[in-house]
Amino acid sequence: MEKKDYKINIVGAGLSGLTAARILEANGYYPAIYDKAEKPGGRLQTDIVEGYQLDRGFQVLLSAYPKLKEYANMDALELQPLKPGAVIFSEGKKHRIGDPFRDPSALLPTIFSNIGALADKWKILKLTLELRKKSPEEIFSSKEMSTLQYLQEQDFSEKIINSFFRPFFGGIFLEPELKTSSRMFKFIFKMFGEGRAVIPKTGIKALPAQMAANLKHTTFHFNSTVKEVRNEGLIFSEEKKAASHFTIIATEAEELVPNLRGQEVKWKSCYNFYFTTKNRVIDDAVIGLIADKEALINNIFYPTAIAVEEKGEQQLLSVTVIKESPLSPEELKEKIIQELRRYCGIKVQKFIKYYRIKKALPDLTQCQYDMDPTETRLTTQIFMAGDQLLNGSQNAAILAGERAAWGIISILEEGAKPSGFTSEYR
């Protein structure tokens, strides 16, 4: 049988599924991708509402991610950089903390900010330099503990933990208690130290859209809800079927494979609100953190701070809440408007849109960086992909998709070994 005649189906058109298709194409196969949505992207989506560009959940790309640099044409994404650090709203005051090496204007504000002692800021610099020397593999083989325990063992003060680390990394991990693995903290800290947080000019959807556009021999089937995956093929909600020689499940496998039911992956959730304001209380493209433990708001960001074209005098404001709340969407909106005024001095002009993102990040108790392609194999003909196999990051999603594809290739081509793709696929 010729390579193009193998029926290799991929369920899920997120980063993992798109990467798997790219590896399969690069090795001569013609896969098919099925997704219940109407376009690629998975959890990376962007909407246009009232002329505003809204990412579904405040998300950034970290330019230092190894797999992002390997699989994306970074220049074509027209990446808009955020400034390193954060503006912290604490005890009625606004403080700036940044990286003086990459942003000299942040030197004096960082030194004189009341966010932790000078010794804390020295320890941050020291940790940055130490982690630059370690590879991701070394970081993920280190002793695992909670992020909070790790920061305490590094002798950071309670003040800087509560004022900076808890809101900043709590927003990244989508949990305010910093229970997330110290391996994940060190990896993300390293990525921030080596690169920039960036947002594509046309929104977060630009990355999966680019990856999908680069696929030349992959067939897409959108608005296709897969009900069950079996060794011999896919069963759809309309009771239609698609035969498979192999299938990669690049989404939640437990919903599709009967003997996995009851083994659901736990997920972290968040709320994301968009408003407009007349003015910005943060002039630069930098995230704002609310350090008050009683606040529902975790972070704010002005997308118009990096927009090439701003919409008149209206400033778009993204607000993220990571705490669970019993409030209705309307009650939560009113609470957020009150907190914006109380903690940040922000007066909202107009409410634009609300997102409740129930499955924002996988809630993993153990994190790893990489895996052998054989570890992605679920049955003789079914393989798994997705960041839930490794760690909650875009880098992990890409890497897991790559490994699942190589799991299939190693069966079809004895002795085949994982590698990247050729430059012609960029």
User: Region 7-20: what's the mean pLDDT?
Assistant: 98
User: Region 322-337: what's the mean pLDDT?
Assistant: 96
- pLDDT given for residue 306 in this prediction: 86
- pLDDT given for residue 397 in this prediction: 98
Give the span between the Cα atoms of 388 and 199, in whole angstroms. Answer: 23
**pTM of this structure:** 0.93
Reported confidence tier of residue 262, pLDDT bands at 50, 70, 90 = low
- The residue count of the chain comes to 426
Give the span between the Cα atoms of 77 and 210, in whole angstroms. Answer: 8
User: Region 333-348: what's the mean pLDDT?
Assistant: 97
Give the span between the Cα atoms of 343 and 115, in whole angstroms. Answer: 16
3-state secondary structure 270-332: EEEEEEEECCCCCCCCCEEEECCCCCCEEEEECHHHCCCCCCCCCEEEEEEECCCCCCCHHHH
The CATH 3.50.50.60 domain(s) of the chain lie at 3-45+205-262+372-425
Pairing verdict, β 315-321 and 267-277:
antiparallel
Which tokens go with 280? Answer: 């910005």
- pLDDT given for residue 421 in this prediction: 44
- pLDDT given for residue 349 in this prediction: 96
pLDDT higher for 109 or 292? 292
Is 108 a residue whose pLDDT tops 70? no
User: Region 312-332: what's the mean pLDDT?
Assistant: 93
pLDDT higher for 108 or 186? 186
- pLDDT given for residue 236 in this prediction: 95
Q: What percent of the chain has pLDDT over 90?
A: 81
Helix (H, G, I), strand (E, B) or coil at 135: coil
Homologous superfamily (CATH) of 3-45+205-262+372-425 is FAD/NAD(P)-binding domain (3.50.50.60)
User: Region 67-94: what's the mean pLDDT?
Assistant: 93
Q: CA nearest 55: which of 202, 214, 250, 260?
A: 202
pLDDT in tens, 112-170: 467 778 899 889 989 999 999 999 999 999 999 999 999 999 999 999 999 999 999 99
Assign domain 48-200+268-362 to a CATH class.
alpha beta
Lowest-pLDDT range of 23-32, 97-106, 270-279, 297-306: 97-106
Reported confidence tier of residue 238, pLDDT bands at 50, 70, 90 = confident
The CATH 3.90.660.50 domain(s) of the chain lie at 48-200+268-362
| Whether 356 contacts 172, CB under 8 Å | no
Q: What does the mean pLDDT of the chain come to?
A: 92
User: Region 76-104: what's the mean pLDDT?
Assistant: 84
